[in-house]
Amino acid sequence: MRPPGRPGAAQARAARVKAAQPQVPAPPMWLRLLPLAYVAGVLALEPLTPVDWPVSFLLTGLPLVAAFAYGPAGVAVIAVFAVVFEGVLAGTPCCAGRMVVGYLWDRHYVANYVCTGLVGILGAILAVHRMRRERTLATVRSVAETAQRVLLRPVPRRLGQVFVETLYLSAAAEARIGGDLYEAVPTAYGVRLLIGDVRGKGLLAVETAATILGAFREAAHDEPDLAGVACRVERSMSRHAAQVPGSELAERFVTAVFAEIPEQEPVVRIVNCGHPPPLLVHEGRVTELHATDPSPPINLGVLIGDGYHVDVEPFRPGDQLLLYTDGVTETRDCEGVFYPLAERVAPWAELPPRALLDRLHEDLLVHSGGHLDDDIAALAAYRLPGERRS
């Protein structure tokens, strides 16, 4: 005989299963009140129409209006209400009997009631279909969010003497995952940073981003030189492109910036592979760190003759480095003007990384009128003041 389980164990398991299932968001309140507003509109229209032109037939569409926010049972109840209310508006008594049926038939109201009932059935079917689609969308979004957490895992805020914060914005609310990427890894050679932007969208861009991030996370610990990290990522990307049939992935490339902040030196080393230049915030001044010898994007390494070039820039305690994707600088306002990042960041030079990125987020929404056309990723690295370790 099976020993009884702990009291409430089944309920706990059921609660865990329910919590693991993707939650379908409830319809907005205005959509739930739409059937009531529809009935109010019909009632407001009734006294304005001629006596021989009743507007009760407008209630035939009420079940379809309800199908946008309610389930099949709710639609069925509202359909019954619509039939009864049609009779009330038509001046029929609310009782049963042969006389009433004859009166309704003589007045040709039966056709209205039958139509309302049929529309109610169609509305219930539509509600079932809508709810299934919403559950499917919730499942897809849940999978996308899980993939996003695996692909762009949370970056530790404190990495030695470097404080790091990140920002990721999707152009569409339904698309929680895209081709923009970032990473920060503490290594024996210092804190190594990556930000990149995959050409294109969709699942292929996500697969490419996963390849780049996986290669960087391994190479960052193994390669003593930052140029070697970029070369290793390039080789991984080339192998991945060669394994995929067709030329579509071979034509894909990734613009990227690799950065290294050594713990013992007040500098930052940068390899720029066709990416927008990082911003250096030093004593209230903002400087664009343009590459002296730019390298081509990742997966176009065959264009390099003598390897990747490393630029070395001062990066003292209290300085801040801002890495970003082109979704930031290519954000347009209503007149088509690009977002002037360096100009906007200058007044915020004294803000800490989190506050800086939050302010950037708000300003981008204001500049674009709340409509972002591209995914956006940004990473802010702040070198903490204090004595360097010996």
131 and 280 housed in the same domain? no
Q: Minimum mean pLDDT among 131-135, 152-156, 274-278: which range?
A: 152-156
Q: Rounded mean pLDDT of the chain? A: 82
Residue 278's closest CA among 384, 187, 193, 363? Answer: 193
pTM: 0.69
Q: What is the mean pLDDT of residues 354-362?
A: 95
Over residues 179-207, mean pLDDT: 87
pLDDT at residue 280 in the model: 96
The answer to whether residue 29 is domain-embedded is yes
Do 235 and 271 share a structural domain?
yes
- Listing DSSP states for 241-308 in one string gives HHHSSSSTTTT--EEEEEEEE-SSSSEEEEEEES-PPPEEEETTEEEE---SSPBPPBT-GGG-SS--
Residue 285 belongs to a domain: yes
- Same domain for 246 and 376, yes or no, is yes
The pairing of strands 158-159 and 162-169 is antiparallel
Residue 228 lies in a domain: yes
Whether residues 191 and 276 fall in one domain: yes
263 and 162 co-located in one domain: yes
The answer to whether residues 177 and 141 touch, using CB atoms and an 8 Å cutoff, is no
Above 80 in pLDDT, residue 141? no
The arrangement of strands across the sheet holding 180-187 comes to: 180-187, 190-198, 254-261, 267-273, 311-314
| Least confident range of 256-265, 273-282, 366-375 | 366-375
C-alpha closest to that of 369 among 320, 315, 328, 333:
333
Asked whether residue 11 is domain-assigned, the answer is: no
Burial class (CB in 10 A: 0-12, 13-18, 19+), 217: middle
Per the CB < 8 A criterion, the answer to whether 316 and 266 are in contact is yes
Judgement on whether residues 175 and 197 belong to the same structural domain of the protein: yes
The region of weakest confidence among 90-94, 350-354, 357-361 is 90-94
Residue 390 maps to a domain: no
Do 181 and 289 fall into the same domain?
yes
CA pair distance 76, 124, nearest whole angstrom: 7
The better pLDDT of the pair 114, 269 is held by 269
Whether residue 46 is contained in a domain is answered as: yes
pLDDT at 105: 47
Which of the listed residues 122, 145, 168 is the one where a domain comes to its end?
145
For residue 86, the tally of other CB atoms under 10 A from its CB is 24
Select from 145, 172, 192 the last residue of a domain.
Answer: 145
pLDDT at 140: 74
**Positive or negative, the Cα torsion across 378, 302, 220, 260?**
negative
127: in domain? yes
Residues 216 and 292 in one domain: yes
pLDDT in tens, 56-90: 778 888 999 999 999 999 999 999 888 888 777 66
Last residue of a domain, one of 115, 145, 175: 145
- Any idea what the CATH number is for the domain that residue 327 is in? 3.60.40.10
Lowest mean pLDDT among 186-195, 304-313, 333-342: 304-313
What three-state secondary structure class fits 347?
helix
Would you give the end-to-end CA distance of the chain in angstroms? 68
- Total domains in the chain come to 2
Rounded distance between C-alpha atoms, residue 182 and residue 192, angstroms: 11
Share of the chain above pLDDT 70, in %: 78
Which of 11-20, 148-157, 198-207 shows the lowest mean pLDDT across its residues?
Answer: 11-20
Domain extent, residue 114, equals: 21-145
Q: Are residues 122 and 228 in the same domain?
A: no
Residue 359, amino acid: R
* H helix intervals, the chain: 9-20, 29-32, 34-45, 62-66, 72-89, 98-106, 110-151, 202-222, 226-243, 326-329, 341-345, 353-368
In a domain, 128, yes or no: yes
Strands of the sheet containing 320-324, edge to edge, are: 158-159, 162-169, 376-383, 320-324, 279-282, 285-288
Q: What does the pLDDT average to over 232-239?
A: 89
Are both 201 and 254 inside the same structural domain? yes
Same domain, 208 and 345: yes
Among 60-69, 151-160, 275-284, 344-353, whose mean pLDDT is lowest?
Answer: 151-160
**How much is the pLDDT for 209?**
85
Write phi, then psi, for 77 (nearest 5 degrees): -60, -45
User: Distance (Å, rounded) from C-alpha 243 to C-alpha 211?
Assistant: 12
- The answer to whether residues 263 and 160 touch, using CB atoms and an 8 Å cutoff, is yes
User: Which range among 11-25, 94-108, 120-134, 154-168 shows the weakest confidence by mean pLDDT?
Assistant: 94-108
State whether 95 and 158 are in the same domain.
no
